[in-house]
Amino acid sequence: MNDPKRDGSTQSSQNSSPSRDDQTTTKENARKNITPRAACWSHFTKFVTKEGEKRARCNACDVTYTMESTSGSTTNLNNHLKICLKKPRGNTSNPKQSELSFVKVSQEMTDLSTWVFDKDAIRKALVRMIIVDELPFKFVEGEGFKYFLSIACPRFSLSSRWTIRRDCLDLFNFMKSVMKNCFEKDISRVCLTTDTWTSLQRISYMVLTAHWVDDEWRLQKRIINFCPISAHRGESIGQAIEKCLRDWGIERVFTITVDNASANSVAIEYLRKKLNHRNASVANGKFIHMRCVAHILNLIVQYGIKDASVSVDRVRGAVRYIRASPSRLTKFNQQVKEEMIDSKAQLCLDVPTRWNSTYMMLKVAEKYERAFESYLRDDHNFFLDLTAGDGVPTFDDWDIVRRVIKVLEPFYHLTLKVSGSFHVTSHSLFEVLTDVHCLFDRWQDCGDLEIISMTSKMREKYNKYWGEGNKINMLVYLAFIFDPRCKMSFLDFGVNLLFPNVANDIMKMIDKELHCLFNEYSSNAGRIQLFEGRSIGLESKSELDRYLGEDEEVNNSSSFDLLLWWKMNSPRFPILAQMARDILATPISTVASESAFSTGGRVLDSFRSSLTPLMVEALVCTQDWLRKSNDAINLEDYVDELQTMEDGNT
């Protein structure tokens, strides 16, 4: 008989155990719920077409691929992800995995390259942006920037403003150490420009800029100091420069270019003595003091147009009134159209102490003379405002302004010529002296009494600084000789033109100074060896004679590269080439240092007055080191900033 318990147990077991068909169905259902393991499926969606074909669609660009492969391979999907331009970056599972990206090769071309997420590189790029674009540290904590970064690079963890501040100092110290090593290895001497400035916080700052020609014969310019000074006294300036040079380990100073302030003369004498005590100067510091030619031209022009100041002030008042309101400017532009004046130049307000900005203001305003007259008839407030000030510009005023423009134009172009920071200028100063001299002679015979009066005053101021040839820094002549297109013959012609009564004496003095300087460089070379039975000293002496004896280069093209010529000929003239590196590196204006005050004015605005002197120096100097632009300084871009600087110094 069957055991009922056993039968019940068996029946229960049979009822609870699934059949083989049921087990198969359960396994199939379990497989359907399994999530695909391949990483590419986070970027694709499976679907079935009307024809029953299994395919996968890219979530970014809607491109589809077949999924009928029996092996379940996802190679085609992974290959697509490598080239998909619409795929969001930064979502790859491997943070070190390379991704394709477009890199800008030139203004018109881009190239395909690989990119790997690197948080350290992004952090350094962020610090660079803060410094170069003069952004406040709190920029990184702004809501808009945080949102932008969450979309552009969500994996990057944003630093606080305190961390960014520390990173800026670290970058400054790192780049400074690298530059120190360059100064130690470079054999050329350093030329300096310096100037002082007072910030909106009434703190006096001094900027120091180094200029030199590197081993690749490229002219270099770097701001090496931007620090507060106790006063604008000469000794304070000299001590601040000495401290900076000691900090940088710079001893081989060739020249220091400054403006004509008496305090700067005291500072130069202080530094001349210090450098001579350490035997670090050339010719006992005889050439160290270079006067800023742009500043001298400014004094000459300001003195010459002094009598025309009333007419200039009236035009300035008219320009100031129009620019004071957008509605006035719109109305003025309407008057320009009605008068059919064919000009798109924008009215600009000058800085009265900067004559070249005055020239730009007058040059533009004179084109709109008829528009000013029409505006005067339509706007009674314009008449009342000008009458309460310097007065309304009259026909005679505009006539005087046209004469002023005619006189200022050549000086404006000469100033641009000598104010370059990225090409050598020292060889052009003597040419500027002869050009100005010829301008005065031509204007004296023009028959216009107003112009004759202006240029007579200019010549008076010109003679104060450049009227005696033996009192001009000898480097003005020597740099001209080191232009292979000029040499002694053209110098002799120019000296006879400028100083006909003492030309022979001046040429003898120049020849003596040239040979003395050459002998000093020869002895410092420290190479005494026999060459064809003679010492290097005798051979090096003939090196100068050979250079002066060769014909001048016939190349008046504006593309002539003076440094490239000396680089190519340095094997023939090794000692002269070293002299050329030092002499041609000499800046003849302080524009390179003055431009730093524009940066300083933006860094030290009214919202960043709490920055420490060290941080100010770090931001100004590092920005100068990071920027890649080699464009010449354009005064037109700095007129508004110059006005702010002048207001701060008033």
Which pLDDT score, from 0 to 100, does residue 115 have? 67
Q: Residue 473 contacts by C-beta under 8 Å, 6 or more apart in sequence?
A: 287, 289, 290, 291
If pLDDT is split at 50, 70 and 90, which confidence band does 559 have?
confident
**Continuous H helices in 186-211:** none
Which pLDDT score, from 0 to 100, does residue 204 have? 83
Rounded Cα gap, residues 179 and 156, in angstroms = 31
DSSP state of 109: -
Average pLDDT over residues 535-545: 63
Which residue, 237, 219, 225, 284, is CA-closest to 587? Answer: 219
Rounded Cα gap, residues 178 and 180, in angstroms = 5
Q: Which residue has the higher pLDDT, 596 or 500?
A: 500
Count other Cβ atoms within 10 Å, centred on residue 454: 25
Which residues does residue 211 pair with via DSSP β-bridges, in sequence order?
Answer: 191, 221
pTM: 0.75
Q: Rg of the chain's alpha carbons, rounded to an integer?
A: 37
Which pLDDT score, from 0 to 100, does residue 368 have? 94
For residue 414, give Cα distances in angstroms to 301, 408, 411. 12, 10, 5
User: DSSP 3-state assignment of 646?
Assistant: helix
- Kind of pairing between the strands at 289-291 and 253-258: parallel
Rounded Cα gap, residues 425 and 592, in angstroms = 12
Residue at 112: amino acid letter:
L
Rounded Cα gap, residues 391 and 549, in angstroms = 63
Which pLDDT score, from 0 to 100, does residue 517 have? 94
Q: What are phi and psi of 195, to 5 degrees?
A: -160, 165
Note the Cα 432 to chain centre separation in Å: 25
Rounded Cα gap, residues 191 and 587, in angstroms = 7
Which pLDDT score, from 0 to 100, does residue 196 have? 84
**pLDDT tens-digit readout, 96-144:** 555 655 556 566 666 666 667 788 888 999 999 999 888 889 899 999 9
**Which tokens is 533 given?**
């039975």
If pLDDT is split at 50, 70 and 90, which confidence band does 542 have?
confident
SS3 of the chain: helix, strand, coil, percent, to 5: 60, 10, 30
Rounded Cα gap, residues 639 and 636, in angstroms = 6
Whether the predicted pLDDT of 270 surpasses 90: yes
Whether the predicted pLDDT of 5 surpasses 70: no
DSSP state of 577: H
Rounded Cα gap, residues 556 and 566, in angstroms = 16
Whether the predicted pLDDT of 2 surpasses 50: no
**Which tokens is 646 given?**
């002048």
Q: Which residue has the higher pLDDT, 477 or 527?
A: 477
Q: Are the CB atoms for 426 and 584 separated by under 8 Å? A: yes
**pLDDT tens-digit readout, 363-422:** 999 999 999 999 999 888 999 999 988 899 999 999 999 999 999 999 988 888 887 777
Rounded Cα gap, residues 294 and 108, in angstroms = 38
**Domains of the chain by start residue, with CATH:** 40-67+82-87+96-116 (no CATH), 168-292+590-649 (3.30.420), 293-419 (no CATH)
**pLDDT tens-digit readout, 6-49:** 444 444 444 444 444 445 444 444 455 555 667 788 788 888 88
**Which tokens is 67 given?**
């999924």
Residue at 325: amino acid letter:
S
Which pLDDT score, from 0 to 100, does residue 52 have? 82
If pLDDT is split at 50, 70 and 90, which confidence band does 438 have?
very high
Count other Cβ atoms within 10 Å, centred on residue 124: 14
Which pLDDT score, from 0 to 100, does residue 608 have? 57
**pLDDT tens-digit readout, 332-373:** 999 999 999 988 889 998 877 777 888 999 999 999 999 999
Rounded Cα gap, residues 472 and 465, in angstroms = 8
Q: Point out the least confidently predicted range of 100-109, 141-150, 494-503.
A: 100-109
DSSP for 517-528, written as a single string:
HHHHHHHHH---
**Continuous H helices in 62-203:** 75-83, 119-132, 143-152, 161-185
Average pLDDT over residues 439-466: 91
Average pLDDT over residues 61-68: 80
Whether the predicted pLDDT of 158 surpasses 80: yes
Average pLDDT over residues 198-212: 83
Whether the predicted pLDDT of 74 surpasses 70: yes
If pLDDT is split at 50, 70 and 90, which confidence band does 86 have?
low
H or E segment and range at residue 537: helix 536-549
If pLDDT is split at 50, 70 and 90, which confidence band does 477 have?
very high
Rounded Cα gap, residues 425 and 418, in angstroms = 6
Which pLDDT score, from 0 to 100, does residue 628 have? 63
Which pLDDT score, from 0 to 100, does residue 616 have? 87
Burial 272-293 (b: 16+ CB within 10 A, else e): bebbeeeeebbeebebbbbbbb
Rounded Cα gap, residues 329 and 333, in angstroms = 6
Q: Which residue has the higher pLDDT, 183 or 482?
A: 482
Which pLDDT score, from 0 to 100, does residue 535 have? 45
If pLDDT is split at 50, 70 and 90, which confidence band does 472 have?
very high
Average pLDDT over residues 447-455: 90
Q: Residue 8 contacts by C-beta under 8 Å, 6 or more apart in sequence?
A: none
Whether the predicted pLDDT of 168 surpasses 90: yes
Whether the predicted pLDDT of 426 surpasses 70: yes
Rounded Cα gap, residues 287 and 76, in angstroms = 73
Q: What is the 3-state secondary structure (H, E, C) of 464-480?
A: HHHCCHHHCCCHHHHHH
Q: Are the CB atoms for 422 and 629 separated by under 8 Å? A: no
End-to-end CA distance of the chain: 125
Number of residues that make up the chain? 650
Q: Are the CB atoms for 593 and 208 separated by under 8 Å? A: yes
Whether the predicted pLDDT of 519 surpasses 70: yes
Query: How many secondary structure helices (H) and strands (E) does the chain include?
Result: 26, 12
Whether the predicted pLDDT of 649 surpasses 50: no
Rounded Cα gap, residues 393 and 420, in angstroms = 36
DSSP for 17-46, written as a single string:
SPPHHHHHHHHHHHHHTPPP-SGGGGSEEE
Whether the predicted pLDDT of 90 surpasses 50: no
Average pLDDT over residues 563-586: 95
Which pLDDT score, from 0 to 100, does residue 113 have? 65
**pLDDT tens-digit readout, 290-316:** 999 988 998 999 899 888 999 999 999
**Which tokens is 77 given?**
């999907």
Q: What are phi and psi of 62, to 5 degrees?
A: 70, 15
